[in-house]
Amino acid sequence: MTKRRQVIWDYAVITVGTAITAVGINGFYVPVRISDGGVSGVGIILLYVLHVPLWVSLTVLNVPLLWLSKKMWGNRIGLRTVYGTLMLSVMVGIIRIGAITHNVLLATVYGGLLSGVGLGLVFRSRGTTGGSDVVARLLLHFFPITMGQGMMIVDFFVISAFGIVFNPTLAMYSLIALFISSRAVDVVQEGVSYARAFTIVSQKPDLIAAKVMEVMDRGVTRIGAYGEYTKEPREILYVVITRSEVSTLKDLVYGIDRTAFVVVATVHEVVGEGFRKPPIEI
């Protein structure tokens, strides 16, 4: 895919993502008075208290945050943020569907999933929809957290205010919806845990590495290390495989060295040969 097509594709995905988010907000959140935090949460409060249309609140409240985005990340990401923010306001304004369900629990689950998937698509295309998305992206620069976790931190305070204006019960449902949404954002951005990373410490690294490449057709990385207890140099093998290959690799390692020390870690995304192709830098 060329850079021009990649840009067009990213903006198309941002458009679809904002439409999905709008369905989650208008079809599930608004009818049962659940807040998903951020600017949209404030907008829902203004909708019920002052009867301000939600799309108007989204547009007006995001102006200072758009300015912050431009100052922090420059025109490239700023343009995508402007587009994503405006498209969310537009989608919320034109996708005027009625209540899909009046069951608060169902609205919490489905609204959280739709909102999270939609926002995840926007973030994956290197855009935002303004609001707490911009603040969460700012937090990523200072703390080792994911985008979804950053949104949860920011939106927690909005939901607390929501609980004061309405009632604690709806605030608790909103917190659950926020958790579901943040997890959906992470899954869309990082992918499901389809891969595993093996760290292998063995007295027979040559045999294990050769067998992994021969039998499993997987690459092996050797890392030089030093055993503090034995005071001897040794080699660590690092192998990334799919989830379905875990048992095969375990059998292979322990079939060669029963004393091998193995650490298995969950990997959410793998980019490179044998897995997903890297994205085009633009």
Task: Please give the Cα distance from 198 to 75 (Å, whole number).
Answer: 41
- Calculate mean pLDDT across residues 150-161: 81
Task: Please give the Cα distance from 185 to 134 (Å, whole number).
Answer: 14
- Calculate mean pLDDT across residues 186-214: 87
Question: If you ran DSSP here, which 8-state letter would residue 281 be given?
Answer: P
The pLDDT value recorded for residue 280 is 52
Q: Could you tell me if 180 and 116 are in contact, meaning their C-beta atoms sit under 8 angstroms apart?
A: yes
Q: Long-range contact list for 133-139, CB < 8 A, 24+ apart? A: 133/38, 133/81, 134/65, 134/66, 134/68, 134/69, 134/81, 135/65, 137/69, 137/73, 138/68, 138/72
- Calculate mean pLDDT across residues 167-172: 92
Helix (H) or strand (E) segment spanning residue 135: helix 132-140
Read off the pLDDT band of 68 (50, 70, 90): confident
The pLDDT value recorded for residue 282 is 45
- Average pLDDT of the chain, as a whole number: 86
Residue whose entry in the numeric block shows the structure tokens 């290959």: 245
Would the pLDDT of 129 be above 90?
A: no
Percent of the chain with pLDDT over 90: 45
Q: What DSSP assignment string belongs to 80-117?
A: HHHHHHHHHHHHHHH-----S---HHHHHHHHHHHHHH
For residue 171 the two structure tokens come to: 């605030």
Comparison of pLDDT for 94 and 150, the residue scoring more? 94
The pLDDT value recorded for residue 197 is 92
For residue 99 the two structure tokens come to: 């209540």
For the chain, the 3-state helix, strand and coil shares in percent, each to the nearest 5, are 65, 10, 25
CA angle 159, 162, 166 (to 5 degrees): 145
Angle between helices 104-124 and 132-140 (to 10 degrees): 60
For residue 280 the two structure tokens come to: 């085009």
pTM: 0.74
Would the pLDDT of 17 be above 90?
A: yes
User: Which amino acid would we find at residue 31?
Assistant: P
The model's pLDDT over 252-266, given as tens digits with 9 standing for 90+, comes to 999 999 999 999 998
The pLDDT value recorded for residue 148 is 66
Class of the CATH-defined domain 195-267: alpha beta
Q: Could you tell me if 27 and 100 are in contact, meaning their C-beta atoms sit under 8 angstroms apart?
A: yes
Sheet holding 221-227, edge to edge: 221-227, 232-242, 195-201, 261-267
Q: Where in the chain is the domain with CATH 3.30.70.120?
A: 195-267
Percent of the chain with pLDDT over 70: 91
Q: Which of 60-64, 133-137, 148-152 holds the top average pLDDT?
A: 60-64
Would the pLDDT of 53 be above 80?
A: yes
